[in-house]
Structure 1
């Protein structure tokens, strides 16, 4: 449609063809599909903006039995870092919990860091860990 026709239509001297009017005003807008930040990151690239994650949370968890491990795995799936204290759990249960969470974090491409005796930090791949903590010596009594 030319400029002259638009001016005539604006002044009301000429009526515009309905098919042309529909075509001019209809614009193909892409559908907005709701995706979580993890999926957006996969689609775009491997670079994540620090400002894209507004509410980064670290969850502290102290499971009392093996059944409590599912809650920790859910936090990891929701892209939250989790500190797990296993000091109050029997050693055989603690081993099972660590094994399960290691499998979960492996599937999510995350990392595991031991930060103390029976205390572990599980982080998704969007969290970078720098530095290491040396093994904490067992309490010794100085005479």
Structure 2
């Protein structure tokens, strides 16, 4: 089986399609577990923010006056770091998993040559124990 890298014209040979499919399934599973971890981080942040907001609203007016509420721009930066960036990363990982799924469909169809993106070729080579493609 020959694996071709998109845009580079590079090709390398893999022992068989089953081996490549196993590597792709491992990569996909690793990415799915990381996506679940990112979702967990987002949920923990949102839960913590909701608790802080509820605690602030329960305070008396005098206590609110003396307690330091974070400025809105700090909250916006926190949101970007803890929610927006992980959501962008999740979208990127999900798109990559879709590419992996398409390649698995091509492999199950019995193709002799498979074309993969550069990022995926590097992950495959890392899993196979090779250093570089070229």
- TM-score, scaled to structure 2: 0.24
* Greater gyration radius: 1
Q: With CA pairs under 8 Å and 6+ residues apart, which has the higher RCO, 1 or 2? A: 2
Give the structure with the higher percent strand: 1
